[in-house]
């Protein structure tokens, strides 16, 4: 009589359980961030956390119940931030690298290293019928937003930058800096009145809160959130997530071709400069809420590429022993910028292009490729 063998089915059973669990998790993940249907993006939402390095992200994550919307991205890379004349970049050179695909000197706004004006991706897309927008939680004439639509040799030429922005035809402008448009020191021009004569609806914090406005796609839109710099988030500022969601909806209705929207969380950088861990955390959390709005739009739209990165790292921020989920013990190595690489997060058509390690200038070329634009020769940063 053949001897009966005892077969242990436990390994197979547990393997099946693990496979089922893995499939469930994968299903949840796909439902959370569905893959785009098209290989080519129609729109770009480009979110820049000024000064936001890994230390800033880590601190905000742990202080926010160990969760950020940034965790939802599946394509992540790192970019090298140095400028043409210094291993440590400033925001002007960093943003110009994104906007034009060239390394330039610190302080330059929309110029090459030899001081020639460079056409930005915003300007090129605008010429092709795309709707365009710029948002900042600092003044709209500050370096990061300015670099996409202005061309000036020094970043502190705020009134000259205001002139460039007023004449730029950017469809959607939200930020501080009203005084550089209507109470100028260099001349008596009222740029707001000039903008209103150029199809802009212009309003400000003196008349409305942004959350109460629904701009018509029939006209350009400009909202001044402050006379100079807006408040910090902790002091009451509350418009960045709304500005992103409203901007994407507005721009999407304004053009059948597509849109480009850049939004900056400006004051993360201020926390690094002042070595204030609490300010860093609150500003990064607010920026992350804007990231959520961008992802929500991209999930619904399925043709929008969302990119999140920083122009540089500020403060050399570290989370020290003694830190906990309830209390972050942060320290800083400087009150300036550092040369640390910063992460790049991407979701949507073309997101895979942003994996790996590359120069900050390549973000410009990757955006062009994701949109299906004719490729240009990479001229900087190799």
Give the number of other Cβ atoms within 10 Å of residue 303's Cβ. Answer: 16
Q: Across-strand partners of 109? A: 152
**What's the confidence (pLDDT) of residue 379?**
53
**What's the confidence (pLDDT) of residue 375?**
84
Question: Annotated binding residues, as ranges?
Answer: 50, 142, 144, 264, 269, 273, 311-312
The domain limits of the chain are 42-371
Give catalytic residues, as residue numbers. Answer: 91
**What's the confidence (pLDDT) of residue 36?**
55
Instruction: Count, in order, helices (H) and strands (E) of the chain.
Output: 12, 14
Closest among 148, 143, 160 to 123, alpha carbons compared: 148
Question: Annotated binding residues for Mg(2+), as ranges?
Answer: 50, 142, 144, 264
Give CA angle at 232 (96, 91), nearest 5°. Answer: 15
Residue 68 in contact with residue 333, Cβ under 8 Å? no
**What's the confidence (pLDDT) of residue 26?**
44
**What's the confidence (pLDDT) of residue 27?**
42
**What's the confidence (pLDDT) of residue 220?**
98
**What's the confidence (pLDDT) of residue 33?**
56
Query: What letter would DSSP give residue 297?
Result: H
Question: Annotated binding residues for Zn(2+), as ranges?
Answer: 50, 269, 273, 311-312
Q: Give 4-50 pLDDT, tens digit per residue.
A: 444 443 444 344 444 444 444 444 443 445 555 558 999 999 999 99
pTM (predicted TM-score): 0.90
Q: Give 215-236 pLDDT, tens digit per residue.
A: 999 999 999 999 999 999 999 9
**What's the confidence (pLDDT) of residue 34?**
56
Domain 42-371: which CATH number of 3.30.2180.10, 3.40.720.10, 3.30.470.20, 3.90.330.10: 3.40.720.10
Segments of the chain with pLDDT less than 50: 1-32, 380-382
């Amino acid at each position: 009589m053949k001897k009966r063998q005892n077969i242990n089915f436990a390994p197979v059973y547990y393997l099946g359980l693990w496979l089922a669990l893995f499939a469930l998790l994968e299903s949840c993940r796909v439902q959370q961030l569905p893959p785009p249907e098209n290989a080519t993006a129609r729109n770009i939402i480009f979110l820049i956390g000024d000064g936001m390095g890994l230390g800033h992200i880590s601190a905000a994550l742990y202080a926010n119940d160990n969760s950020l919307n940034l965790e939802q991205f599946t394509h992540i890379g790192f970019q090298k931030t140095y400028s043409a004349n210094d291993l440590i970049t400033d925001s002007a050179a960093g943003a110009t690298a994104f906007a034009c695909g060239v390394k330039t000197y610190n302080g330059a706004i929309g110029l090459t290293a030899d001081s020639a004006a460079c056409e930005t991706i915003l300007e090129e897309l605008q010429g092709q019928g795309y709707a365009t927008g710029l948002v900042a939680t600092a003044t709209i004439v500050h370096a990061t937003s300015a670099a996409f639509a202005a061309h000036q040799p020094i970043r502190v030429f705020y009134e000259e930058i205001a002139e460039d922005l007023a004449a730029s035809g950017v469809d959607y402008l939200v930020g501080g800096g009203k005084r550089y448009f209507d109470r100028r020191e260099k001349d008596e021009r009222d740029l707001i009145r000039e903008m209103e004569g150029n199809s802009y609806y212009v309003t400000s914090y003196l008349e409305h809160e942004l959350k109460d406005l629904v701009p018509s796609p029939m006209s350009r839109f400009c909202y001044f959130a402050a006379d100079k710099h807006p408040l910090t988030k902790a002091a009451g500022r509350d418009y960045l997530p709304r500005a992103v969601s409203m901007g994407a909806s507005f721009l999407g209705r304004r053009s059948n071709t597509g849109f480009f929207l850049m939004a900056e969380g400006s004051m993360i950088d201020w926390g690094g400069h002042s070595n204030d861990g609490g300010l860093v955390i609150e500003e990064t959390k607010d920026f992350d809420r804007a990231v959520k709005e961008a992802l929500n739009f991209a999930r619904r739209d399925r043709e929008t590429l969302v990119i999140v990165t920083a122009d540089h790292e500020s403060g050399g921020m570290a989370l020290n022993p003694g830190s906990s989920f309830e209390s972050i013990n942060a320290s800083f190595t400087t009150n300036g910028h550092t040369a640390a690489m910063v992460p790049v997060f991407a979701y949507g058509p073309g997101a895979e292009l942003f994996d790996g390690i590359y120069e900050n200038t390549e973000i410009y070329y990757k955006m062009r490729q994701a949109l299906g634009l004719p490729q240009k020769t990479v001229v900087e940063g190799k």
